[in-house]
Amino acid sequence: MTQHSESRAPTENRVTLSVDAMGGDSGPAAVVEGCAKSAEKNAEIAFILHGDEGVLHGLVAQYPGLTGRCTIRNASGVVTMHEKPSAVLRNGKDTSMWSCIEAVRAGEATVAVSCGNTGALMAVSMIRLRKLPGVARPAIACLWPSRGRHGFSTMLDVGADVKADPDDLLQYALMGAAYFRNGFGEQRPRVGLLNVGTEENKGRTEYKAAYDLIEAAAELGRYEFVGFVEGGDIPTDRVDVVVTDGFTGNIALKTGEGTASLIRDFLREELKRGWLSQLGALLAMQALKRLQKRIDPRRVNGGVFLGLNGTVVKSHGSADATGVSAAIKLAFQLAQSGFTERMAHRLASVAEGRAQAAAEAAQTKPEGQTAP
């Protein structure tokens, strides 16, 4: 069993986040530093840090801003990036990841944050938090830099499950719209269904069926459905929420990250090519810094697990302190908005509306016929 000790318990009026301090490639030092960055900017955050108690006490002591803001909960085990989810479910109860999710399940924290193994984190979250009523497949939503009025769009699913039937895609639309509405204050997010073309006759059969379902639920779901969108629309001002299956979404996400990294490397190489290029870079320094900030992947660090009885933010495994701080900021925003409760209410309302419409359709059928 895990034990815990307190570095002065968090104040009651603060939002408490549960943080897996041992997950990720950069280790607990980067996670604790990210917590310290967030604490410095926001006096309303408190943390439960899960991991090796001896290590965490020493790291927390380096940041005076964390004094009185952290509860340290000892967990001796660590989930590695290569561990199979099934193995973690069997043998992972002593790990920092498991302890992190348990704190949300017990109501001690509002949101869990981890940089750890994505598959294992989703598996533990599903087992311990359970799915919301009516949700068949939870989804992972990510933020994507865009020309939209908020600077980001969101896409889901990006890897929780490679499959998705029309009902799943409808739920992704509802959950994604609720996420964007609560995360960015957009009252009617624009939702698009990712496809190989924007024409209604294109794409797989299940996507055509999903199109009709998502369009029909727009009023109850409080979103604007813009129809099919293509890959090139993701970073534009056309759409706020991009809906797709986890197989397609994960490929798009990894392709986007790789392309951004390639462009950044090419730009750096060209700016170092000769003294004229270096002089030009010096003259354009401020513009280049602004560009770097806009495309910095650390600013959009944090995928959110949607469809669970609790909110879980998955930070990149390679995140540094800046990336961890960005994930914590997102977690705080979602905690403040009461996001999970609002999303559950919206899903239930749409399910009730669909059931009522089906019942009315069945009643209007001529005698001897059945509703489809």
Same-domain status, 7 and 99: yes
Give the three-state DSSP class for 209: helix
Q: What is the CA radius of gyration of the chain?
A: 22
Same-domain status, 315 and 242: no
Same-domain status, 88 and 158: no
- Indicate which CATH number applies to the domain containing 253: 3.40.718.10
Same-domain status, 39 and 27: yes
Residue-wise pLDDT tens digits, 313-364: 988 877 888 889 989 988 898 888 777 777 777 777 777 766 776 677 777 7
Same-domain status, 239 and 320: no
Same-domain status, 146 and 116: no
Same-domain status, 275 and 146: yes
Same-domain status, 99 and 211: no
Residue-wise pLDDT tens digits, 10-69: 445 789 999 999 988 888 999 999 999 999 999 999 999 999 999 999 999 999 989 889
How many structural domains comprise the chain?
2
Same-domain status, 292 and 320: no
- In-domain check, residue 127: yes
Same-domain status, 54 and 115: yes
- In-domain check, residue 362: no
Give the three-state DSSP class for 108: coil
Same-domain status, 92 and 63: yes
Q: Whole domain around residue 70: which residue ranges?
A: 1-133+307-338
Residue-wise pLDDT tens digits, 102-152: 999 999 999 999 998 888 999 999 999 998 887 888 899 988 888 888 888
- In-domain check, residue 348: no
User: Contact 239/231 with Cβ under 8 angstroms?
Assistant: no
Same-domain status, 32 and 124: yes
Other residues' Cβ atoms within 10 Å of the Cβ of residue 77: 18
The long-range contacts involving 159-164, CB below 8 angstroms and separated by at least 24 positions, are: 159/118, 159/246, 159/249, 159/250, 159/253, 160/122, 160/246, 160/305, 161/137, 161/245, 161/246, 162/245, 162/246, 162/247, 162/250, 163/137, 163/245, 163/246, 163/247, 164/137, 164/206, 164/244, 164/245, 164/246
